[in-house]
Amino acid sequence: MLTLYTHPMSPCAQKVRIVLSEKNLDWDKYDVNLPEKENLTAEYLKLNPLGVVPTLVDDGKAIIESSIICEYLDDKFPQPGLRPADAFLISRMRFWMKHIDIKVHPSCGALQWPLVMAHKLKQLPQAEQDAIIDKVIEKPRRERQRRLLKMGYDAPDVKDAVATYEKTIVDMEKELSKQPWLAGEEFSLADAAMAPYFQTLYQFGWADWYKSRSRVNDWYERVVSRDSYKNAVSVDFDEAKLADLNAKGKEAWLKIQSYLKAG
Ligand SMILES: N[C@@H](CCC(=O)N[C@@H](CS)C(=O)NCC(=O)O)C(=O)O
């Protein structure tokens, strides 16, 4: 039996949920309470020493890191396959997955975290805020969260995140002029991995960012219309939640636009 430790708003958990759904697998869901830092409890750290979601537990064995989980699922449950047949296209698929892990994911964190996570922490006394951030396992993440908590959208991380997203969208527009999906003629793990990072733009009301790029916009529309996306992502965003996130994203969008304009 498969159990996924997840969170509705986590893009890297969403990508695993898309893959589970593409493969029509049965799985149990455990929602980890990230705002309450359940991910840093001793019990959860036994499963995932990095203290993050997602974690997949298969037959008692924990698999961590979302891209590795996606490849594990494709190895263990090969039908339908989510990797291209051609070795070069597999290399392209892995390029995108690596780019997402290294660049897009932290950028998404910089844009999203001040709007959804920092708010709760800021209600605590300063010493408690510091103590919570001190427990974050990975140093780059810990320091990023500290900066974002203190500086919000004025943190340098946000400016870098905007540049990374912009370059990613431009590069995708180029790639998608050659082929319908990021790694060729078929939907692959690369598309499953990228899609949640566009959910972030959509949910905060920043869709104009990609809508002016016709191929990227068309790609995302095709992704969103798949059952896997509806089951894995859209299901967690009802109208009330989207309205709340849209409202939270309004002021941030002005800042993002000013960073885009400044280049
Ligand atoms: N490289 C990891 C990143 C995981 C990650 O950053 N997860 C976030 C949610 S999207 C998390 O658990 N954050 C908890 C925290 O920052 O305290 C993966 O791809 O699995």
Q: Which atom of ligand 1 is nearest to the CA of 136?
A: 17
pLDDT of residue 215: 98
Q: Which pLDDT value is given to residue 181?
A: 98
Say yes or no: domain 2-76 is CATH 3.40.50.1220: no
Atom number in ligand 1 closest to CA 109:
10
Distances (CA, A) of 66 to 14, 59, 92, 107, 217: 9, 18, 18, 16, 25
Cis peptide before 80 (omega within 30 of 0): yes
Return d(Cα 90, Cα 31) in angstroms, integer. 32
Q: Whose CA is nearest to atom 9 of ligand 1?
A: 10
State whether the beta carbon of 48 lies less than 6 angstroms from ligand 1.
no
Q: Specify the domain boundaries for CATH 1.20.1050.10 within the chain.
A: 87-262
State the span(s) of the chain assigned CATH 3.40.30.10: 2-76
Residue 10 near ligand 1, beta carbon < 6 Å: yes
Question: 66: closest CA among 57, 74, 55?
Answer: 55
Q: Is the pTM of this model over 0.95?
A: yes
Under 8 Å between Cβ of 183 and 90: yes
User: Phi/psi zone of residue 60: left (φ > 0), alpha (ψ -120 to 50 degrees), beta?
Assistant: left
Q: Residue 77 in contact with residue 59, Cβ under 8 Å?
A: no
- For the beta carbon of residue 230, count every other beta carbon within 10 angstroms: 12
Q: Which residue out of 9, 12, 30, 104 has the highest number of ligand 1 atoms within 8 Å of its CB and is therefore the one to mutate? A: 12
pLDDT at 263: 84
State how beta strands 27-31 and 61-64 pair. unpaired
Q: Is 110 in the pocket of ligand 1 (CB under 6 A)?
A: no
Take residue 248 and report the two structure tokens written for it: 């939270």
From 3.90.640.10, 3.40.1080.10, 3.40.50.10190, 1.20.1050.10, which CATH number describes the 87-262 domain? Answer: 1.20.1050.10
User: Tell me, what amino acid is at 256?
Assistant: I
State whether the beta carbon of 53 lies less than 6 angstroms from ligand 1: yes
Residues making up the chain, counted from first to last: 263
Contact 19, 192 (CB under 8 A): yes
Residue of 38, 52, 97 to test ligand 1 pocket, by largest number of atoms within 8 Å of CB: 52
Q: Which residues of 26-62 are buried (b: 16+ CB within 10 A; e: fewer)?
A: ebeebebebeebbbeeeebeebbeebbbbbbbbeeee
- Written as tens digits, the pLDDT of the chain (263 aa) is 999 999 999 999 999 999 999 999 999 999 999 988 999 999 999 999 999 999 999 999 999 999 999 999 999 999 999 999 999 999 999 999 999 999 999 999 999 999 998 988 999 999 999 999 999 999 999 999 999 999 999 999 999 999 999 999 999 999 999 999 999 999 999 999 999 999 999 999 999 999 999 999 999 999 999 999 999 999 999 999 999 999 999 999 999 999 999 98
CA distance 121 to 73: 35
Atom from ligand 1 closest to the CA of residue 64: 20
**Is the distance from CB of 188 to CB of 90 less than 8 angstroms?**
no
Contact 79, 25 (CB under 8 A): no
Task: State how far the Cα of 98 lies from the Cα of 12, in Å rounded to an integer.
Answer: 12
Name the strands in the sheet holding 2-6, side by side, starting at the edge strand that comes first in the sequence.
27-31, 2-6, 55-58, 61-64
Q: Is the distance from the beta carbon of residue 117 to the nearest atom of ligand 1 less than 6 Å?
A: no
Atom of ligand 1 nearest to the CA of 108: 10
Distance 233 CA to ligand 1 centre (A): 17
- Ligand 1 center to 54 CA (angstroms): 7
